[in-house]
Structure 1
Amino acid sequence: MTDTIAAIATAPGRGAVGIVRLSGPQAFAIASRLAGSLPPPRQAALRQLRDAQAEVLDQGLVLCFPGPNSFTGEDVVELQGHGGPVLLAELLRAAVAAGARIAQPGEFSERAYLNGRLDLAQAETIADLIDAASGQAVRAAQKTLEGAFSRRLQALAAQLTDLRVFVEGALDFSDEDIDWLADAGLAERLAAAETLLAETRQQAGQGRRLREGMTVAIVGQPNVGKSTLLNALAGYEAAIVSEQAGTTRDPLREHLLLDGLPLTIVDTAGLRDTEDAIEREGIRRAWQALEKAELALFLVDDREGVTDADRALLARLPAMPRLLLRNKCDLAGQAAALDSGEQGQELRLSAKAGLGLDLLVQALKAQAGLSEVGEGLFLARARHLEALDQAASHLAQARQRLTEGAHAELAAEELRLAQRALGRITGEQSSDALLGEIFRRFCIGK
């Protein structure tokens, strides 16, 4: 990059400190025009910060980070003054007048990636760290930024490279009498790669839950307490509660954070046969919402238990995880408890009385795979999971080809495609369009 970029690196609004960041070949020269003599690298010094007419705007700290040992890999300067929005805008304007241009969203992180300071998975995690909605997400994002995910992918790539060398080497000696592909060591190495990939997919799936959350649909017959449960989880009256059946028509979505787990809770219309055209449309939309959910909370009235009508509805649910909730346990004279029943795991609670909600949150975290966040957990995105799924599919195809016998060429190609899929996560196999889509979602200044 031949141009020098500048941006306000602190959040909009008033604050005690505000930062204008410069990066590029002219960063030091531009900073000298604004602040005078620059301090030694990585040492803060107090300087007067001036505008394009050399009039003093502020007094603040100046820090210099020579490339390539900087965040972007280029010469970087931070001008740290008082955090007034007008003051920072004037300082940025002075930097532009001195030869910089205003950075695009994510351009500092993009330059760090292009200059080899970060791989693509690490660069994406910067935005995840900023947007983290819980302490667990912060810690997982930091592990990813430190390279935990990337090192795992490198280990997988190394195993695939080893397999490719063996299989492609066997092709070179295919005219000999020795069946190189029948070597037991090959099967063991292939199994080890599949095991490590499966573990990575599981951890990435947990990381995606921690980052993006899970969509949960509350379903059941009318008047079993679905809207009351939504309100209890939300902590406010998000849904209208009425004794009259059919009150809920359109699915109501609430985005919640429960003990570090982001959730989208969907309250649906009571599922029943009805002649009311509007209610019937609400029920149709409830079934649509169920198709998109990742977990169904199926409510029954604990006083009546699981009725034949409930069993009929359960049989119609899409193939998905579900948790049966026996609501109104206080009216049934039962204590809140998580236990096993005829529908598998069942939870007795009272949404209105607030009994058993803590048990429900723990059950939701267990369903999301977050009941215990391990040391190796890292944040992941949908595109990462898609690439891991593709790699697993190609690896399975390679194993099948090798099992069949005379298909070593096809097995070698499947191994190459698996390695290529992993490369898309870290940016080794990424298009300019993908990079533009990723970095434009960043905030300006990062």
Structure 2
Amino acid sequence: MSHAADLEKRSDIIAAVATPPGRGGIGIVRVSGKNLQPFAEAMLGSLPKPRYACFSKFYDENEQVIDQGIALYFPAPHSYTGEDILELQGHGGPVIMNLLMARCLSVGARLAQPGEFTLRAYLNNKLDLVQAESVADIIEASTSEAARCAMRSLQGAFSATIDSLVRLIIELRVIIEATLDFPEEEIDILQSMQVGHQLAVIQDQLEQVLIASRQGSLLQEGIKVVLVGQPNVGKSSLMNQLAEEEIAIVTEIPGTTRDTIQQTIKIEGVPIHIIDTAGLRKTDDIVEKKGIERTQAAIQKADMLLLLLDSNATDNSSNHEILNNLPASLPRLIIYNKIDLLNIDPGIENKADQVIIHLSAKTGAGITLLRQKLLEMAGWQSNNAGEGLFMARQRHLQALMAAKTHLENARLLMENNYQLELLAEELRCSQTALATIMGEFTADDLLGEIFSHFCIGK
């Protein structure tokens, strides 16, 4: 279904509570649709003056006052959705909000689906798809750096960069397509137009966008780090040090942690989701066995492992067994804890492709080294509050990688006797991959997946 057809299908009036559930000083009901004048007259008695805050009474079907507050009216097309929008700002109690919503539905609106207001903004060309997604990213941002990065995308920084790349590719395609009409002179034409240089410039710019996008993705998603090791090796103490508060219970009794405990910490604005797990060992305790099963499940979903070992331990057979059972492809840090008992300094060493950190979870010695290494292994490059980064989602990264692959194929074709038809096709595919980022070529099922994760009322 085309965007125009989808928009026609969604021409009805939608309504939703736009403020969080619960009690508050203000509660907002948002309404969007074509020609809201009859709707407003039924709810308010008259249509408010456009773009003015009007003190109004909100009426039920018997002309009894449900509530009173501020009514705001934004006529199409100069509104968030591109349609008429009416906002009713009343008292923020659940009962009042429910009564107002019930009245909206009785007047002719239907309950909006998650993200449907922003979806209509996208379908009405008020936002491109990247900007629409950034609305959700701003709401869900877990750090101030992530929020600033998402705001840059909402203001169009990411879209402008992608659009610039697309234009460069189009310019190159124009040269290639024109040259196809003069096959006997193609090599001279391509060389005179410096096609190879232009392609190299595009590839370089795309690589910079990929780097900035991966960094922005880290700001939004962060990484999941699982602490594993034998019982009583200091996993809970290490988690408390990283979180800088008492999250996990610490005792001298092995097996104290029976379940996974998760805490999100922030290092240079990057969310690190630390998961403390039950110690890995053979046990007959039913509860502890269940905890170990959950540890194994957490490992399967992790982005990185921190394997804790006791610097004082003399028998390492159990540690070797743990190592052999860990996924080989999963990045890991090996941490030797309790160096305070040996009176040695914290440090980092590399042995046989393994990174080893010596620290004390009890005193905090070496924790700064660990934090820095976590960021480094996650792929983070220090940045000033997310400046220059793009809040990229997984689908953006996939599209950028697809475009990069097609450009690399184009480069190979140019180096092999200028196979113009294939070269033109690779450039077209690269352009199409980039265009999907902004939603120019987007399947309806993908739109449904994207907007289903929005909150209702946005």
Normalising by structure 2, what TM-score? 0.84
Matching residue of 2:382: 371
Q: Which moved more, 1:67-76 or 1:186-195?
A: 186-195
Q: Aligned runs of 1:7-406 on 2, under 5 Å?
A: 7-176=16-185, 178-183=187-192, 185-219=194-228, 224-234=233-243, 235-236=245-246, 238=248, 244=254, 247=255, 252=260, 254-259=262-267, 260-267=269-276, 293-302=302-311, 318-319=328-329, 321-335=331-345, 337=346, 339-342=348-351, 346-368=356-378, 369=380, 371-372=382-383, 373-406=385-418
Distance 1:250 1:165 in 2: 64
Alignment check: 8 A CA contact 2:146 2:386 kept: no
Q: Which moved more, 1:361-370 or 1:119-128?
A: 361-370
> Deviation of residue 77 (structure 1)?
1.2
> Deviation of residue 349 (structure 1)?
2.2
Distance 2:94 2:64 in 1: 18
Distance 2:114 2:391 in 1: 21
Distance 1:188 1:117 in 2: 36
Secondary structure of residue in 1 paired with 2:224: strand
Alignment partner of 1:431 out of 434, 439, 443: 443
Look up the equivalent residue of 1:388 and give its one-letter code: L
Superposed CA deviations along residues 17-48 of structure 1, whole A, max 9, x for unmatched, are 01111111132331222123344321111111
> Deviation of residue 134 (structure 1)?
1.3
Distance 1:282 1:62 in 2: 54
Distance 1:115 1:326 in 2: 57
Distance 1:177 1:109 in 2: 47
CA gap of 1:183–1:25, structure 2 versus 1, over 3 A, is: same
Distance 2:208 2:361 in 1: 37
Distance 1:9 1:215 in 2: 31
CA gap of 1:339–1:47, structure 2 versus 1, over 3 A, is: same
Distance 2:55 2:102 in 1: 21
CA gap of 1:238–1:180, structure 2 versus 1, over 3 A, is: farther
Alignment check: 8 A CA contact 2:219 2:270 kept: yes
> Deviation of residue 267 (structure 1)?
4.8
Look up the equivalent residue of 1:124 and give its one-letter code: E
Identity %: 45
> Deviation of residue 213 (structure 1)?
1.4
Secondary structure of residue in 1 paired with 2:415: helix
Superposed CA deviations along residues 295-333 of structure 1, whole A, max 9, x for unmatched, are 33343444579x899799879873554444332222221
> Deviation of residue 266 (structure 1)?
4.4
Alignment check: 8 A CA contact 1:255 1:262 kept: no
Distance 2:265 2:168 in 1: 39
Look up the equivalent residue of 2:433 and give its one-letter code: A
CA gap of 1:38–1:356, structure 2 versus 1, over 3 A, is: farther
Look up the equivalent residue of 1:404 and give its one-letter code: N
Alignment check: 8 A CA contact 1:253 1:264 kept: no
Look up the equivalent residue of 2:166 and give its one-letter code: A
CA gap of 1:30–1:393, structure 2 versus 1, over 3 A, is: same
Look up the equivalent residue of 2:262 and give its one-letter code: E
Alignment check: 8 A CA contact 1:228 1:241 kept: no
Normalising by structure 1, what TM-score? 0.86
Distance 1:122 1:398 in 2: 30
> Deviation of residue 81 (structure 1)?
0.9
Secondary structure of residue in 1 paired with 2:91: strand
Superposed CA deviations along residues 75-103 of structure 1, whole A, max 9, x for unmatched, are 11111111111111211222222222221
CA gap of 1:47–1:397, structure 2 versus 1, over 3 A, is: same
Matching residue of 2:5: none
Q: Which moved more, 1:76-85 or 1:401-410?
A: 401-410
Distance 1:312 1:101 in 2: 59
Look up the equivalent residue of 1:327 and give its one-letter code: N
Secondary structure of residue in 2 paired with 1:330: helix
Secondary structure of residue in 2 paired with 1:353: coil
Alignment check: 8 A CA contact 2:148 2:386 kept: no
CA gap of 1:309–1:184, structure 2 versus 1, over 3 A, is: farther
Q: Which moved more, 1:134-143 or 1:22-31?
A: 22-31
Structure 1: gaps of 5 or more residues: none
Secondary structure of residue in 1 paired with 2:411: helix
Alignment check: 8 A CA contact 1:159 1:193 kept: yes
Superposed CA deviations along residues 242-269 of structure 1, whole A, max 9, x for unmatched, are 565xx49999462423344333334567
Secondary structure of residue in 1 paired with 2:361: coil
Look up the equivalent residue of 1:20 and give its one-letter code: V
> Deviation of residue 338 (structure 1)?
5.2
Aligned length, in residue pairs: 442
